[in-house]
Amino acid sequence: MAELDKTQREVGVPGDWTYASAPESRDIVHIEDRYGYFVGGKWLEPSETYETIAPRDEEPLAAIGQATAEDVGRAVAAAREAYADGWSSLPGSERAKYLFRIARLLQERSREFAVLESLNGGKPIKESRDVDIPLAAAHFFYYAGWADKLEYAFPNRRPRPVGVAGQIIPWNFPLLMLAWKVAPALACGNTVVLKPAETTPLTALLFCDVLRQAELPPGVVNIVTGDGRTGAAIVESEDVDKIAFTGSTEVGKEIQRRLAGSGKRLTLELGGKAANIVFDDAALDQAVEGIVNGIYFNQGHVCCAGSRLFVQESIYEPLVAKLERRLTTLRVGDPLDKNTDVGAINSAAQLEKIQELVASGKEEGAEIFQPPCVLPEKGYWFAPTVFTNVAQSYRIAQEEIFGPVLSVLTFRTPEEALEKANNTPYGLSAGVWTEKGSRILWMAQRLRAGVVWANTYNRFDPGSPFGGYKESGFGREGGRHGLEPYLRFDE
C-alpha cells in the first residue's frame, strides 16, 4: 500500500488540553456594605455586626447583623402580627399568587442569585446556576400549587396552619434550604422567622428584595442573621409554634432537648454517612460518574453525600482504577469559573474539620489518593480525596466528614452490603448500582435510609419527600409529605 503523505496534513490539534478560564462576571451582584434584619417588611439596624467573606480568597464582602434575643423577639412579634392580621385566613388561592410571584422573580433574577451564592458559599457557579437556584424556584412553584388544594391533600382532616415557624438553615445550600423551609410554610398559611447560617447570609438577604418585589405582606417572612446564639434565641422564643432545623446532628439533639415538653412542633434534617453500593453487574462508567457526583458535588458539603462507597469485591480493582483516573480530570478552583467542578471549602472551621478527619484516616491505616492539582494559595481548599483499605471501624467510615473525601469499602454478597450499609447511626440516603431491577427493590426495601437512589445519585425534585431515619432526623421536606409539619388537623 502506498504510504500516505502526511506532511501537508497539519491540523490544529492542541497539545495542551488545559481549560482556559471562563469566569462569570460578578458585576450583576450588588452587595451592600452593611446589612440589618428584615423584620415586618423593614430593615432594622443591628447593634453588633460580623464580617461575611468569600471563601475562595477570604475577601470581606459585607458587615452582617448579629441578632440578639431582643431582635429575634421583634421578628417573632412581627410574624405573629402578620399571622393574626390576615395571612393565616387568606384564601389558599391568594397565598398561591404570592408564591408564584416569588418563584417567577427567582427565575428572573437567577443569575444574580447564582453569582452571589457561589461568591459567599464557595460552590461552583455551574452548580448554583444549574441546581441550587432552579430548584429553589421549583420549590416555590410546587408549593404554590398546593396552597389552594390542602383540603384535597388531606381529605376530611380540616388542615389549618400551625402559626409562627422558626426556621434555622445551614450553609451548604443557602437559598435552596430557605426555599425548602419557606415555601411549604407559606403555602399552608404560616408566617416565618428564618435564620441563615453565619457564613452564608447573603442570598437570604437578597431574597428579602424578592419579597418586596412580590409585595408579600409585611411580617409574613422575617430574616434575622447571626451565629448559633441567634438560632438558639429562635428555638427558645415563647411565641414560636414550630421549629424546622437543618444542620448537624449535635445541634439537632440540643434543640430537641430544649424543646422537650414545650409542646412546640419540631422537624430535624441532620447529618448522614450514606452508602453508595456498586454491584458487579453495574455499568461501571456510569457508576463512576454517580460516585463522583455523590461525593464531590458541592465539595462534599452535602448531608446525603455518598461518602461510603461499597464495591463488590470482584470489580474492586477496575472500579477504583476508573475512579482514580476520573478524579484526575476534576477541575478544582475558582467557584466563579464556569469550568470548575470542585470549588472552595465553605469556611476555615470546616477545612480544619476535614483536615483532622483525613489525618485520622491516614493514622488508622487507610491508603489515600489525591489527584495532582494546584490549589490556590488564598482561601480554603481541599483536593478531592479517595481512601482505600478502609475498615468499618475507622473514623472516616463512621463520622460525617462533610468534605470531598470518599471512603471505599468492599462486600461479597447483597446481604453483606446491606448489613454494612445499615451499620451507621445515620439513615438519610443511599445509592444502589446494578442492572437488576429485582435487586434494586430488594435493597431499597431493606436499606434504612430516607431516600434510595438507583443507578443515579443526588437527584432532587420538589415533588419527592426527603428526610431521615435514626440520627439523620425526623419529618419530611418536599412533596405532599412536606406540607404536614406546617399543618394542624382535626382528626
Site residues for ligand NDP per CB under 6 A: 168-172, 195, 197-198, 227-228, 231-232, 235, 246-248, 251, 254-255, 270-271, 303, 350, 353, 400, 402
Distance between CA atoms of 183 and 157, rounded to whole angstroms? 22
- With 0-12 CB in 10 A as exposed, 13-18 as middle and 19+ as buried, what is 148? middle
Residue 215 among the catalytic residues? no
Round the CA-based radius of gyration of the chain to a whole number and report it.
Answer: 24
Distances (CA, A) of 162 to 73, 255, 263, 289: 19, 19, 12, 43
Q: Of 255 and 383, which has the nearer Cβ to ligand NDP?
A: 255
304 in catalytic set: no
Task: Report in angstroms how near the CB of residue 398 gets to ligand NDP at its nearest.
Answer: 12
For residue 380, give the 3-state DSSP assignment.
coil
CB 350, min distance to ligand NDP, A: 6
User: 75: number of CA atoms within 13 Å, CB side?
Assistant: 33
**Minimum distance, C-beta of residue 400 to ligand NDP, in the bound complex (Å):** 4
| Residue carrying the nine cell digits 458587615 | 63
What's 369's DSSP letter? E
The three-class DSSP label of residue 437 is helix
Amino acid identity of residue 242, one-letter, is K
Cβ nearer to ligand NDP, comparing 128 with 172: 172
Q: Toward ligand NDP, which CB reaches closer, 247 or 306?
A: 247
Q: How do the residues of the chain divide into helix, strand and coil, expressed in percent and rounded to 5?
A: 40, 20, 40
Cell (9 digits) for 282: 453495574
Task: Please give the full DSSP string across 412-426, using - where no structure is assigned.
Answer: SSHHHHHHHHH-SS-
- The residue (of 80 and 195) whose beta carbon lies closer to ligand NDP is 195
Q: Which is nearer to ligand NDP, 146 or 180 (CB)?
A: 180
Name the minimum Å distance from CB 246 to ligand NDP. Answer: 5
Cβ atoms 133, 175 nearer than 8 A: yes
Q: How far apart are alpha carbons 201 and 475 in whole angstroms?
A: 25
Q: What is the C-alpha to C-alpha distance for residues 470 and 272, in angstroms, rounded to an integer?
A: 10
Number of Cβ within 10 Å of residue 437's Cβ equals: 10
Q: State residue 35 phi and psi, 5-degree precision.
A: -125, 140
Strands (E), 66-172: 160-161, 164-168
Q: For the CB of residue 19, give the shortest distance to ligand NDP in the complex, in Å.
A: 30
Closest CA to 451 of 436, 470, 465, 461: 465
The least CB distance from residue 411 to ligand NDP, in Å, is 25
Which residue lies nearer to ligand NDP by CB, 165 or 417? Answer: 165
- Please state the closest distance from residue 354 (CB atom) to ligand NDP, in A: 8
Q: Which is nearer to ligand NDP, 28 or 359 (by Cβ)?
A: 359
Instruction: Tell me the β-bridge partners of 473.
Output: 269
Cβ 196 to ligand NDP shortest distance, Å: 7
For residues 169 and 421, which CB has a smaller minimum distance to ligand NDP in the complex? 169
Sequence-distant (≥ 6) Cβ neighbours of residue 14 within 8 angstroms: none
**Is the separation of the CB atoms in 208 and 38 below 8 Å?**
yes
CB of residue 74 to ligand NDP, shortest distance in Å = 18
**Residue 242 vs residues 161, 453, 484, 487: alpha-carbon distances, Å:** 11, 30, 12, 10
Nearer to ligand NDP, 258 or 436 (CB): 258
Among 127, 269, 400, 471, the one annotated catalytic:
269
Cell of 37: 434584619
> Using CB atoms, what's the residue nearest to ligand NDP?
231
Catalytic member of 188, 208, 303, 304: 303
Q: Which are the catalytic amino acids?
A: 269, 303
